[in-house]
Amino acid sequence: MNIVMLVGEGDSSKIVYNGLIKDFDIKMVIEDTAISRKYFLKRRIKKLGFIKVLGQMLFILYNKWLLVKSKDRINVIKMENELSSKFYPKKKFIKVKSVNSQETIQLLLQTSPDIVIVNGTRIISRKVLQNIDAVFINTHVGITPKYRGVHGGYWALVNDDIENCGVSVHLVDEGIDTGGVLYQDVIEINNLDNFNTYPYLQISKAIPLIKKAINDVISGAIVEKKIINSDSFLFYHPTILEYFRNRLKGIK
């Protein structure tokens, strides 16, 4: 099988790559460029309002400090689960301005992948999905469809929904985490974990599930999980007030 990855600039994409290459040959890694902060803020303010977005930005600033405080726990999780953030081989790595650009489409057409593993990119456009005859598989750090968007594990804990604090591996469609679910698993946390460590626990659970999904495609036995009577919500960053209110409930 010809496998290509579409990735974002974050740590999780490197971890997924290094986890998969133990069992599969990844032909190419195409890295998306993050949306500019100015464009992101304008779009988010239009959707959520200035006050909400201001609260989110204040939380993001606070979280820079929280991330520093989380480094030791993150390193323990990576060591215990053999997660590597080693950078991609230069001969396989290509940086593009947008995962939805014509350049990306041409690269995919040239490579002709059977499977495209997606992690950490912006939403994949209809144009990309319709032009490439491949199975697109995404990792979502949340249980879909109940916890779509970002920080699904955190929001499950906020909702006292520990049985849905986990990760999903699903097919990619034009929606936000709405593609057919292939595999899901839950994480176990302790009192050392917080907003920044949950994703590492989720990625550690996701890698074996991605491998199962790839093997399903290879064997022609890919099956979507039946989701019965599940609510579906789209989540965003917490505001600084939401975070500290939830912190009082013990959700870090």
Q: Look at residue 189 in the predicted model and tell me its pLDDT.
A: 95
Report the chain's terminal Cα–Cα distance, integer Å.
41
Of 229 and 18, the one with more pLDDT: 18
Place of tokens 């109940």: 146
**Of the ranges 7-16, 35-44, 76-85, 144-153, which one carries the lowest mean pLDDT score?**
35-44
Q: Is the pLDDT of residue 226 over 90?
A: no
pLDDT for 228 beyond 80: no
Give the tens place of pLDDT for each residue, 231-242: 899 999 999 999
pLDDT in tens, 151-176: 999 999 999 999 999 999 999 998 89
Tell me the pTM: 0.94
Average pLDDT over residues 86-107: 97
Give the chain's mean pLDDT: 95
The arithmetic mean of pLDDT across residues 90-100, rounded, is: 96
- DSSP, residue by residue, the chain: --EEEEE-SSHHHHHHHHHHTTTS-EEEEEEPPPPPHHHHHHHHHHHH-HHHHHHHHHHHHHHHHHHHHHHHHHHHHHHHTT---PPPPGGGEEE-S-TTSHHHHHHHHHH--SEEEEES-SPPPHHHHHH--SEEEEEESS-TTTEEES-HHHHHHHTT-GGG-EEEEEE--SSSS-SPEEEEEE----TT--TTTHHHHHHHHHHHHHHHHHHHHHHT---PPPP-S---EEE-PPPHHHHHHHHTTT--
Structural domains present in the chain: 3-247 (3.40.50.12230)
Who wins on pLDDT, 226 or 12? 12
